[in-house]
Structure 1
Amino acid sequence: MRIAAIDQGTTSTRVLVVDEHGGADIARAIRHHTYHPHPGWVEQSAEELLSNMSACVETAGNVDAMGIDNQGESCLAWDAKTGEALSPVIAWQDNRTEVELNRLRADGAQSLTLERAGLPIDPYFSASKLAWLLKHNRKVRNARKRGTLRLGTTDAYFLDRLTGHFATDTTTASRTSLMNLQTGQWDDALCKLFDVPVECLPEIRSTVGDFGQIGNVPVTASVVDQQAALYGHGCRKSGDAKITFGTGAFALTLTGEHIVRVPDQGLVPTVAWRIGDKITYALEGGVYDASAAVEWGGRLGLFEDLAEISAFESPAAIASGLVFVPALSGLACPHWDRTAGAMWIGMRASTSRQDMCQAMLEGVAMCAAQVMHAMSRHVDMASHISVDGGLARNTYFAHFLADVLGTSVRTQRFHELTSFGCAALAALGYGVQLQERRNPSIIFKPRQPTETIAAWHNTFSQAIQRSRGWR
């Protein structure tokens, strides 16, 4: 038996092929372009993504079933009859709708989104992006008049074009701000609030189930990439947690059958997965810029190779008062402040590029620690946190993260946990259980005294306050 998982992420599309013994190999990975036509706008080509998806499907070869994971909040409009993409993909980092959303917040609308969707009003989520397309894109408006408009997240577009099924899954729908978190269905009041026609949205299906066929291969799972990673990490019990350090950093902690609502802490309840009629929930918190911030530092010329910033001879940069706030796209949980600006603070004439790189890594870890500390006040957390993604392979970063979290951090030697989780869910849909991978891990334990870490968190919080409201 062979199962393929298509991981359509923020920067690339890749296909993992696994077998019933847990063997897993990336068969192909294709990077795609991201465009920034205006400040705050982040777009991708729908046709380029679809072409890369098709190439990965072809490379997978003879498989028994397939799963697809997606970017989550990224969305677009397309025509039901022709399949033509009527807009670019508006990516999850895009914040073009911030001004309009400020008006909704001022009108008190956030109480409705928190009650129904469990989400704050923020351009991160799909609803305001879809509304923007209806308001500003002539092709979209014309398609609506013709009755051929389809709106949705990228998974619905891929499934519609590749399988003929206009559908999304519960995890992805939960990221739109249009789905009722308790019922798992589109919410009329939320659709009316954002002025998104519910008749143009895809059917919501269980994460594991029938999503049609690509050729003769059944698509048996569709899921958000971060939820796929949660499953791939082996998280199954309430309190199990993972952080994926990709373009952004995304932390998820399982809460089981319970929806944990703590909007004052900036945490977001979400769907981990829906298998059959059972919805499993999670608590989510994110950092907009993780690897994206580090790659930006590389483009500035602070380093040439990631190996240069995996170890430092000097003590932590924050210990000497040098702090980096990775708010290139603003601050997500627990602040939800798009007006925050990225910054280094505390530089001296003696500050070197190495010092700035060290602070850059520490800033991402400190933001992730703020998220996890907020979660730990509301969920009985497991004894360790499992991490993956590019930054998780950086030794200095992993050690520092364990210090500021105050708990053990487990990194995996097999890094394709998002794809593996997607494949495992697809295997369930095919009626088999994938064998758990024997994945050797490295455990990083806290080394610093609690008083030192408390002082670092206080210093970082002061820097955060200085970054807020800057834009």
Structure 2
Amino acid sequence: MTRILAIDQGTTSTRAVALDDSGQARVLASVEHRQIYPRPGWVEHDPEELLRNVSDCIESAGRDFAAVGIDNQGESCLAWNRRTGEAISPVIVWQDERTAADNERLRSDGAEALTMARAGLHLDAYFSASKLGWILKNVPEAQRLAGAGNLCLGTTDAFFRHRLTGRFETDVATASRTSLMKLATCTWDADLCALFGVPVDCLPDITETHGELGEITGCGHPLTASIVDQQAALRGHGCQHPGDAKITFGTGAFVLALAGPEAPDSGQGPVPTVAWARAGAAPVYALEGGVHAAAAALNWARKLGLFDDWTEIAGFDRPTAVSRGIVFVPALAGLACPHWDRRTKGSWMGLGLDADPMDLVQAVLEGIAFRTAEVVTSMESLAPVSQQISIDGGMTRNPWFCQFLADCLGRELRVSHERELTAIGTALLAAETAGCTIEPPSGGDVIEPRAQPAHWAETFRQARALAQTYARQRPDGGKTLGTA
């Protein structure tokens, strides 16, 4: 039996998943890593801890694999020594907001026209470019190594691949998340690099997402896929035609819809991105939009003591919170697509003395659904989105949330039974290069939408707009504490 090993290196854990030629996925190892919060708005990981977990997952899986694929967090990035491979900075995670003020200054100078035209991306701390520029300005060792020609700057995948295969490379899908790559040519753009203060010669070479990507030291397995986790999940969901879409509810909620062989126009909401590109073939593009705090918002509510067990919030014996005027805006890490507003923060509105913890949690779930619907609606303004959307992630095990989401979207949802779609997508891409034919998983529960009063969405829209107004009118202008 042919098996492919997928290493799913996510925001909270690293997982080793084996996929056999019947399409069956089996989790072989799972290791959590620390979340480091040195200042308000800053989120970091220990790069050596991440690499150790990746290596341990590969080693513990054994040697009976035709190929290995690795997916990564996307926009999280760091700096390391080209000669020794040693990390000289923490991983600055995609959620990190330390460069929000830098991006606002660039926007005030009119620089967003350049990033939108070349990279297709808004100016936002979410993307890697400003974080890499911050490292060069604030880490003295980075400046010293750059002067000596020994500095590596890149996303986490490039760090892993450099240490595991000896090749300083990133894939085209991950590069498209940096705001340093010209989307039309899939090459680093000198003007974008200059804008963010990132030397082009410190960046990795850009490769296809699946092909001959080197041999992993120690185990000898060929690395045949390297890709962003959300793009991997898109493939795992079976999305292969323009308009096919998926939503993954993890730390954040990320919507991706396939666009085809041409990059979609850059709009005010969702952003164009590379879905994948095989060796010798033109890239396939997608539209992407996200809600930065999805499961993260629920975990936060649980830590506040609003509920103890997930079964407590699988259903509610009361009308919807929004119908009673209670709304939560889940902007705990700012508003992403389609607003791109880092100043706005999370807020409950409409609370009275009769509100109880379940009202607050119900509003959190509803707020995530309403924000997800905003993302999908903004996508439809640029390209068609299928009438059935496939969803996965921990939150999709909550039946009440899934039904409310279907109602907000006004379309069918297919809730996958498979919990490892990101790893499966990575393995499917790795299998193509290895010459293996694997049938992807299919099936899932279909949820039909119910009619939802239009004023519910309008109530949420007004609450979200009020949260944005409050952020703009604060004496500090909504500036995140601790922003450099």
Query: TM-score, normalised to structure 1's length?
Result: 0.98
Structure 1 counterpart of 2:30: 29
Structure 2 counterpart of 1:161: 163
Tell whether 2:331 aligns with 1:330: no
Tell whether 2:343 aligns with 1:343: no
Structure 2 counterpart of 1:458: 458
Output one character per residue of 1:420-459: Cα deviation in whole Å (capped at 9) or x when no partner: 000000001112221122x43111111124xx0x211100
Amino acid of the residue matched to residue 465 of structure 2? Answer: Q
What is the rounded CA distance, in whole Å, between the counterparts of 1:90 and 1:171 in structure 2? 19
**Does the 8 Å CA contact 2:244/2:389 hold for their aligned counterparts?**
yes
Percent of pairs with identical residues: 52
Structure 2 counterpart of 1:399: 403
**Does the 8 Å CA contact 1:261/1:267 hold for their aligned counterparts?**
no
RMSD, aligned CA: 0.9
Runs of 4 or more off by more than 4 Å in structure 1?
none
**Does the 8 Å CA contact 2:121/2:266 hold for their aligned counterparts?**
no
SS state at 1:212 partner: coil
**Does the 8 Å CA contact 2:297/2:330 hold for their aligned counterparts?**
yes
Deviation of 1:258 (Å): 2.3
Amino acid of the residue matched to residue 16 of structure 2? Answer: V
Tell whether 2:185 aligns with 1:180: no
Amino acid of the residue matched to residue 112 of structure 1? Answer: L
Output one character per residue of 1:176-206: Cα deviation in whole Å (capped at 9) or x when no partner: 0000001011111111111100001000000
What is the rounded CA distance, in whole Å, between the counterparts of 1:92 and 1:253 in structure 2? 21
Structure 2 counterpart of 1:305: 309
Deviation of 1:64 (Å): 1.3
Structure 2 counterpart of 1:353: 357
Structure 1 counterpart of 2:374: 370
Structure 2 unaligned spans of 5+ = 472-477, 479-484
Which of 84, 87, 108 is the equivalent residue of 2:86?
A: 84
What is the rounded CA distance, in whole Å, between the counterparts of 1:263 and 1:448 in structure 2? 29
Tell whether 2:250 aligns with 1:246: yes
Output one character per residue of 1:352-405: Cα deviation in whole Å (capped at 9) or x when no partner: 111111111010111000000111232222120100011111111100000000
What is the rounded CA distance, in whole Å, between the counterparts of 1:313 and 1:238 in structure 2? 40
SS state at 1:455 partner: helix
Which of 207, 225, 229 is the equivalent residue of 1:205?
A: 207
Structure 1 counterpart of 2:43: 42
What is the rounded CA distance, in whole Å, between the counterparts of 1:407 and 1:322 in structure 2? 24
> How many residues in Structure 1 have an aligned counterpart in Structure 2?
466
**Does the 8 Å CA contact 1:120/1:263 hold for their aligned counterparts?**
no
What does residue range 62-461 of structure 1 map to in structure 2 within 5 Å? 62=63, 63-214=65-216, 215-264=219-268, 266-276=269-279, 277-437=281-441, 439-449=442-452, 452=453, 454-461=454-461
SS state at 1:243 partner: strand
Deviation of 1:262 (Å): 4.1
SS state at 1:283 partner: strand
Query: TM-score, normalised to structure 2's length?
Result: 0.95
What is the rounded CA distance, in whole Å, between the counterparts of 2:307 and 2:446 in structure 1? 27
SS state at 1:193 partner: helix
